[in-house]
Structure 1
Amino acid sequence: MWGSTVRAVNGLTARWATALPASDTASDTAPPTTSPTARDKAPDAAAGEATGTVFSACGVWPLLAFLADGAAGPARAELEDALGVPAERAAEAARDLLAGVERIPGVGSAVGLWTRPDVEPHGSWVAGLPAATLGRLGPDDAENQRELDAWAAKRTDGLIPTMPVTVDETSKLVLAVAQALRTSWLRPFWEGGMLPDSGPWAGRELAALHRTTGLLDRVGVAETDAGPLTVLKVLGGTGIDVHLLLGPDEADRGTVLKGGLDVLSGTCRTVPGDLLPLGEPGPGLNVRHVRSTSRDPYLAVTTSPFSLTAEHDLLAHHEVFGLTTARDLERGHFPGISDFPLALTQAAQATVARFDAQGFEAASVTAFAAAAGCAAPRTRHVVRRIDLDVDRPFGFLAVHRTSRLVLMAGWVNEPVPYVFDEE
């Protein structure tokens, strides 16, 4: 089941990526229209949107599966379509997914369920939530919110300090999944600067990460629906790799990320670096022969560090997640969860991702709320040299190397300015 679940989760990642706004002028972090009491996250959302975005279908999929297990009628059918697995197997697949994620070094996950005293979840449904934190929502919603925020912070090692949904008087049930991951690069970068001479970052003095390696197959060019896509694999020591994705100038982030997922699934043929033709065979690439003191070829990479935060209103893309009917407050949709009639009023995710010289760390908290509703030495050899400059907006996928499960995906739209040391 693990293999089919990975394909289902990555499929949701692809659909979510293509549903993202084509540019950063359209926000993906607007407050939920069905939850006018939601906390105002606009300042953080705006900041995250200016620099790019990050999201985790791996954090959403288990929650959709647990909802599908307790859903009935059209809501169950829609969730089943979004999940890509039969509803009767969804909870088991979600448990397998979370157990598999927990086995990845450097990755942790947790499930939480909180209910009002008048909502009594069915024991059989609760028993299907793996090692869940179970809590009651009391009469003081400010205290409830503090409790949920503390849970989010603890389960993500402080990377996400607050729960992405708001507890108010209408909240009858809150179901959440938190995930956090950290990995260190097998070969660290060194820090420096860059000055792009073309593209949207041209003429700006920017912070950069640099690295060289003799392993030319770390980079490749794939032919995707968006055109040629350059893919750089940065390997982590815990079996988690980050794939940097540089597409054609005109390609939007949804198509670039979808292309990266097609490469991951084997849908697109990729030509590795050692077989690339001389010249500029892909975005950001230059392949040539140079004189060297060594017989070994080498790949020189310059890229941008990033630190991203984002919040996503999943109900803004309810059709992607199979949540269209589940929002209808006129009736309950989850009799398998509780006899109390429930409908979704909030579905949100908070995410963070940081890529620097030493490694990568990221976290997500996804929650649903339901209401009753280098001087040149002497050279002797001629070798192949590949230069890759990631010096304009690019995408990334954080991937478990063995299973190819995408744990996190995102887009870097704005670089980090270079800061000169003051004497």
Structure 2
Amino acid sequence: MPALPGGGTRAFLVRPRRGADRHHHRRGGRWRRAGRPRAADAPGRRRAVPGQAVRPRYGGLVTVAAVNALSRRWALAADGRAVVFAGPGVWPLLALIATGADDTARAELEKALGTAATDAAAGTVVDLLGGCPAVRFAVGLWSRADLPLRKTWLDRLPPGVHGELTGQPAVDQPRLDAWAGEHTGGLIDRMPVQVDRRTLLVLASALAVRTRWVRPFTDTSIRPASGPWAGGRIAALDRTTHDPGTVTVVDRLTRLRVEGTDGIDVHLFLGEPDRPAAAVLAAGLDTLSTPGTDALSGGPGIEVSTVASTDARDRYVAVVPRFTVRAGHDLLALPEVCGLTTVADPVHSHLPGISSEPLAVSQARQDALAEFTTEGFRAAAVTSVGFMAASVRLPSATVRQVRVTVDRPFGFAAVHRDSGLVLVAGWVAEALTPRGEG
């Protein structure tokens, strides 16, 4: 970064506010092997422990572009309330369901998937996640003992993920809840779908992301002068760097990138005050790979000033909100995102490739959580689909400083740095008060 006349430099401050609304399976750097699944109608079968998970092998069903496209459509459903969602938690389940669907249902699911329902392509997002130490991912399948499952469909699942449902909700639900807690490190302690005596099969995924900031923040607070968070002091986090890439402007958005360990970046998106949440979040996801312009050009929430400094480099000061966001989603209410309308038909079964018995999706839900703190970021999502029977240093110089203050609702996304896969994304609609102030 060029120095100013007389030895000064520029300094940049990015400052959002804290907001909150109210397999081989990777453990400790090693993969834990489990038994292979067997067809439900195989005599003398030995089932895996319910929820045992291994590294998935979907044979190329998933592409980063397709998953990110699903996440973008989900972002367009944002209505201004706090939200967090995980596209990679939904996509593999839709792909598995599509491989067992008839032509009508498969066409709808393939539209949601953005690709053909085939496992012939090479390379998968699931394998990518399995190689990222910041991410844990697991798949689970549970079915009633008397439900025959097609071996060809079971063979598309990772080995060792098939458990049994007893048909007794008091027994089955705690087991499913325990699986959710185990595979998210306790961040989500229950399975989103609730089983009952009609539940014949449950298909689920668990995704957990944990990263520590390369440069941690310190606690502070700010008092927004305008916007929905005006009128009170809110908890925030403060950090200064000299990296011009931490704050850029593109498509009328100010973007703050916070670098985490193990290949994870968290991006914050601040739009103009009157820009809808869906437009801000979707534009943020669309422009993740777009370089953008220098923050000195100005943008939403950006303040450029000249300050005293002992370092000739420009400064980028970030004051960002500490936030916690939780959300629950009914995936059946998101047909444009998930494409589950046809397979949820309770009268006509559209899943002949899963079982010889007529099946219909009865529930499909995702529960998700994201937390942005002084030391790092963590997020988790559990997605589940239930099936029932179908009836069918002292200052010595001056520098310029860019200050970005996020003092109104904003979007965020956690991204796998190398591939660009959006792991979770969301919207912070409410701010938290500083500790000790109510």
Instruction: Tell me the TM-score normalized by structure 2.
Output: 0.83
Select 1:392's aligned residue among 408, 413, 423.
Answer: 408
Select 2:399's aligned residue among 383, 408, 411.
Answer: 383
Report the AA paired with residue 200 of structure 2. Answer: K
Contact 1:113 1:132 survives alignment (8 Å) = no
Residue 186 of structure 1: SS of its match in structure 2?
A: coil
Structure-1 residue corresponding to 2:66: 8
Structure-1 separation of matches of 2:151 and 2:60: 26
Contact 1:111 1:131 survives alignment (8 Å) = no
Contact 1:311 1:351 survives alignment (8 Å) = yes
Structure-2 residue corresponding to 1:151: 179
Residue 158 of structure 2: SS of its match in structure 1?
A: coil
- Compare 199-208 and 186-195 and name the one that shifted more: 199-208
Q: CA deviation at 1:378?
A: 4.1
1:334 matched to 2:356? The reply is no
Structure-1 separation of matches of 2:185 and 2:108: 34
Q: CA deviation at 1:384?
A: 2.9
Select 2:138's aligned residue among 110, 117, 122.
Answer: 110
Structure-2 residue corresponding to 1:34: none
Residue 216 of structure 2: SS of its match in structure 1?
A: coil
Residue 208 of structure 2: SS of its match in structure 1?
A: strand
Q: CA deviation at 1:4?
A: 7.5
Report the AA paired with residue 83 of structure 1. Answer: L
Structure-1 separation of matches of 2:72 and 2:312: 41
Contact 2:61 2:121 survives alignment (8 Å) = no
Q: CA deviation at 1:87?
A: 1.4
Report the AA paired with residue 204 of structure 2. Answer: A
Q: CA deviation at 1:2?
A: 7.2
What does the per-residue CA deviation read over 1:79-113, in whole Å, with 9 as the maximum and x for residues that have no partner? 01110111124x867x8221111111121111111
Contact 1:332 1:343 survives alignment (8 Å) = yes
Contact 1:111 1:132 survives alignment (8 Å) = no
Select 2:380's aligned residue among 344, 363, 366.
Answer: 363
1:86 matched to 2:116? The reply is yes
Structure-1 separation of matches of 2:437 and 2:281: 36
Q: Any unmatched runs of 5+ in structure 2?
A: 1-58
More helix by share: 1
Structure-2 separation of matches of 1:3 and 1:327: 22
Contact 1:115 1:173 survives alignment (8 Å) = yes
Report the AA paired with residue 194 of structure 2. Answer: T
1:404-423 alignment to 2 at 5 Å?
404-420=420-436
1:302 matched to 2:308? The reply is no
Structure-1 separation of matches of 2:292 and 2:154: 45
Higher relative contact order (CA 8 A, sep 6+): 2
Instruction: Tell me the TM-score normalized by structure 1.
Output: 0.85
Structure-1 separation of matches of 2:160 and 2:88: 17
Select 2:302's aligned residue among 265, 274, 285.
Answer: 285
Select 2:273's aligned residue among 229, 249, 253.
Answer: 249
Structure-1 separation of matches of 2:202 and 2:330: 15
Q: CA deviation at 1:338?
A: 1.2
Structure-1 separation of matches of 2:346 and 2:284: 38
Residue 88 of structure 1: SS of its match in structure 2?
A: coil
1:65 matched to 2:95? The reply is yes
Residue 87 of structure 1: SS of its match in structure 2?
A: coil
**Alignment RMSD (CA, Å):** 2.0
1:315-334 alignment to 2 at 5 Å?
315-334=332-351
